[in-house]
Structure 1
Amino acid sequence: MKNTIQSEVATSASPAIPKLERLRLHDTVVEHLRNLIVEAVLVPGVKLNERELCETLGISRTPLREAMKVLAAEGLIDISPNRGASVSTLSEAEIWETFEFMSGLEAFSGELACERITPIEIAEIKALHYAMLACKAQNDLPGYYTRNQEIHDKINEAARNTVLRQTYLSVNRRLKALRFKSNFQAKKWDEAVHEHDDMIQALEARDGARLSAILRLHLLRKRDAVLSNPVVQTKISTE
């Protein structure tokens, strides 16, 4: 009886401490491999050697294979039972059509965002814009691209439409590497910066029609830059 009472007292005196959530290793691997694909370290069509990747990343095959499944679901890599894994390629027609579709999603996001965005969200986007310009001045394309994508993402979030959000994220995963490559040419990069200046002005004015038109043209010009770039052209699937 005495032991029971002591046990109850000890239990009541001990606070319920939740266990810490462990960051899943494959999540880190997913992010790392995704960045390597986006930044063209791993180019379209290249085969992914599991042994070499495990040695380079210092991991076992289990988290690597889990990460590959995620990237395959996102359309970034292809996994074949007989040929292994390789970075996905898009045909010229697929690039054309996907950018065309994405331009519509971006345009609709801009239209809705102008109706629903908060002053705080506009301030956050402007801060990202200035940080993006600083990266451009330093010729830091990865830093520029990261902030660029955050701007587009925040505009999409500000649209407050769950279906639009889910579709946008799914399609954009397949285009991230190509959007990064669209600024390989200095002239195209300069044009993209001017278009972002116009986006900020339209957003501040809450001019949905103007922002919608800017975003649509912005994405179509990215498509044209990708398809006209000889460096990118050599990586486009001819299948």
Structure 2
Amino acid sequence: MSDTGTPRMKRPSLHEEIVAEVRRMIVDGELAPGEWIAEMQLCGDLGISRTPLREALKVLASEELVLLEQNRGTRVAPITFDAMLAQFEFMEALQMFAGRLAAERASEDELERLNAMHREMIRLHETGDRSAYFSLNQEVHTLIASAARNPPLFSVHEASAGKIRRARYQANLSYDRWAESLQEHGEFVAALTARDGQRAGELLSDHLRRTGIAVCSALKAFEDAGERAPDDRKGRAR
């Protein structure tokens, strides 16, 4: 406790910081699916030795973000149609649960923030700033999961959301899907604001289903063509 009686926030350890940074690099596509990780170069970039990096890679392997291959090294786990289809199916159910709880448990401040974030998403859509829109989009879904006030749900949501974000970075979704997604956001934000948990959950689940169809269709097309999805992060929207 601090002198004012407020609990002190625990600072992340070096290990936690390394895990978080390498995870971000994978999720954001800086380390591409299937890419071998050049450990010495990455150590230099992060200013660390190989031991803490390897410990971090073990954690990321447990999250299925990297593959540790004996006598060969570590590579970023590939993104496959089957794996992403399963993730989106799981997230559909999780989002329904999160929406129902968030409608009941979110504070008025959180609901105000959601509405302000949605207004900003509308502005970003109008100006065509997909990169900023995409980042804010992630914050919206994280806020909803947090507002559900269920730690196990939030933990599972964040782990699964990271895998889905990685897939969406690789699947260049169309402008039409972007517009549809924005409309869906407006509908579930309105339901949450009205504290209609049943409708909010259904709308969030349907939103993930539609996004999953778009992303998985793109991944399937790349797999069928024997290609890797292009790394153009300016064209994604959830």
Residue deviations 1:106-144 (CA, integer Å, cap 9, x gap): 011111211222211101222222333344444443432
Tell me which amino acid in the other structure corresponds to 2:26: I
**Residue 108 of structure 1: aligned partner:** 97
Residue 31 (1) aligns with residue 17 (2): no
**Residue 183 of structure 2: aligned partner:** 194
User: Which of 85, 91, 94 pairs up with 2:83?
Assistant: 94
Tell me which amino acid in the other structure corresponds to 1:185: S
Equivalenced residues, count: 217
Tell me which amino acid in the other structure corresponds to 1:212: G
The percentage of aligned residue pairs carrying the same residue is 38
| Partners of 2:63 and 2:126 in 1: CA distance | 32
| Partners of 1:197 and 1:221 in 2: CA distance | 15
Residue 80 (1) aligns with residue 69 (2): yes
- Is the 1:76–1:88 contact (alpha carbons within 8 Å) kept by the matching residues of 2? yes
| Partners of 1:25 and 1:53 in 2: CA distance | 15
- Is the 1:181–1:232 contact (alpha carbons within 8 Å) kept by the matching residues of 2? no
Q: TM-score, normalised by structure 1?
A: 0.78
**Residue 167 of structure 2: aligned partner:** 178
Given the superposition, is the C-alpha separation of residues 161 and 22 from structure 1 closer, same or farther in structure 2, using an over 3 Å criterion?
Answer: closer
**Residue 112 of structure 2: aligned partner:** 123
Residue 71 (1) aligns with residue 60 (2): yes
- Shift in Å, 1:216: 1.1
| Partners of 1:182 and 1:209 in 2: CA distance | 31
Given the superposition, is the C-alpha separation of residues 148 and 75 from structure 1 closer, same or farther in structure 2, using an over 3 Å criterion?
Answer: same
Given the superposition, is the C-alpha separation of residues 232 and 115 from structure 1 closer, same or farther in structure 2, using an over 3 Å criterion?
Answer: farther
Point out the more displaced range, 46-55 or 23-32: 23-32
Consecutive unaligned residues in structure 2, runs of 5 or more: 1-9, 230-238
Q: What pairs up with 1:12-27 in 2 under 5 angstroms?
A: 24-27=13-16
Consecutive unaligned residues in structure 1, runs of 5 or more: 1-20
Q: TM-score, normalised by structure 2?
A: 0.79
**Residue 141 of structure 1: aligned partner:** 130
- Is the 1:78–1:86 contact (alpha carbons within 8 Å) kept by the matching residues of 2? yes
User: Which of 38, 52, 56 pairs up with 2:45?
Assistant: 56
